[in-house]
Amino acid sequence: MGAAFTLRGVVIGAKNHRDQDAIISILTPNQGVVSAMVPGAKKHSSRLASMATPPILADLVLTDSKGFYYLKEGEAVESFRGLYSSFEALTCASHILEVVRDTAIDPESGSALYPLILYVLYDLSSHPEKYRQIVAAFEWRVMDALGFAFDLSECDCENPDSMPTRAFSYTMCRLYCSKPGCVSKAKDYRYISLGCVEALKYIRSAPLERLSAFHAEKYVLDDLCAVTHRYLCERLEKSYDKMLILDTLPPV
């Protein structure tokens, strides 16, 4: 085995390997996603088992053997324990991790997503009751990080109507007012409230530690969750369906 080295990262995925081992995916600040074998991770007595239970922020000691990394030691920095007290939060965390695994495909995208996922997971762990707006904020902010920014400027007709809604165009990736000529340019769209527009603007400009620190009425949050999720799915060309189970739960 090669010399050991240490890195800090977020374990964003784990899959079984043979009977007792696991292979983990570690999102790092500068190296993108690193894969490593965790020998004996499935044994009840394994001291490394927690390192193969995402999500967890940890300091990891790895060794290199024939071009593949093996986990030698691991120490948790943040285990996001609050996620396990809420089915909703745990489901949302699973969705967030899936999106990050799909999009952190190189060191550049990994570096952009690393601070975002840290803040979002910590926020979700600390405030599981805010899971809907935390996920919506993540979905919207991750689009900016990946270069899929939506144009939130006012309708380009120069004289938008006074209706308290705007057409959110999935086709044109911009807003239009509800005048017939403008809406016809929107093509595939959804009407959203002006409150939703303000929430989208807030999320775009907010510091990460304040990403979900906004109040939204239920109708605004419904708009927000609908447009951010569909926009994410369409831009990434994948149907992310883990959140659908939460729609079947009775209202709290």
Exposed, middle or buried: residue 206 (CB in 10 Å: 0-12, 13-18, 19+)? middle
Residue 8, beta-bridge partner list: 59
- How high is the pLDDT of residue 43? 80
Task: Compute the average pLDDT of residues 158-181.
Answer: 93
Total-model pTM: 0.93
The reply to whether CATH 2.40.50.140 applies to domain 5-78 is: yes
Res 160: pLDDT: 87
Res. 138 pLDDT band, cuts 50 70 90: very high
User: Which bin fits 237, alpha (ψ -120 to 50), beta or left (φ > 0)?
Assistant: left
Secondary structure element (H or E) that encloses residue 14, with its range: strand 5-17
Neighbouring-strand partners of residue 22? 16, 38
| Rounded Cα–Cα distance for residues 233 and 212 (Å) | 21
DSSP 195-241: HHHHHHHHHHHS-GGGTT-----HHHHHHHHHHHHHHHHHHHT----
Q: Is residue 158 classed exposed, middle or buried when 0-12, 13-18 and 19+ CB atoms within 10 A define those classes?
A: exposed
**Cβ-contact 249, 86 below 8 angstroms:** no
Which amino acid makes up residue 110? G
| pLDDT tens column, 43-92 | 877 888 899 999 999 999 999 987 889 999 999 999 999 999 999 999 99
Cα-Cα-Cα-Cα dihedral of 197, 199, 203, 206, to 10°?
Answer: 120
Contacts with 244 (C-beta within 8 Å, 6 or more apart), sequence order? none
Report the DSSP pairing between strands 189-193 and 165-169. antiparallel
> Per-residue pLDDT for 250 more than 70?
no
Ranges 46-50, 194-198, 235-239: which has the least confidence: 46-50
**pLDDT-derived band of residue 1, with 50, 70 and 90 as boundaries?**
low
Predicted confidence at residue 41, as pLDDT, reads 80
- For 79, the token pair is 């285990």
How high is the pLDDT of residue 241?
Answer: 94
pLDDT at 3: 82
Residue bearing tokens 């900016």: 144
Average pLDDT, rounded, for the chain: 93
39 contact partners, CB below 8 Å, separation of at least 6: 20, 21, 48, 70, 71
Q: Map out the domains of the chain as residue ranges.
A: 5-78, 86-152+162-248
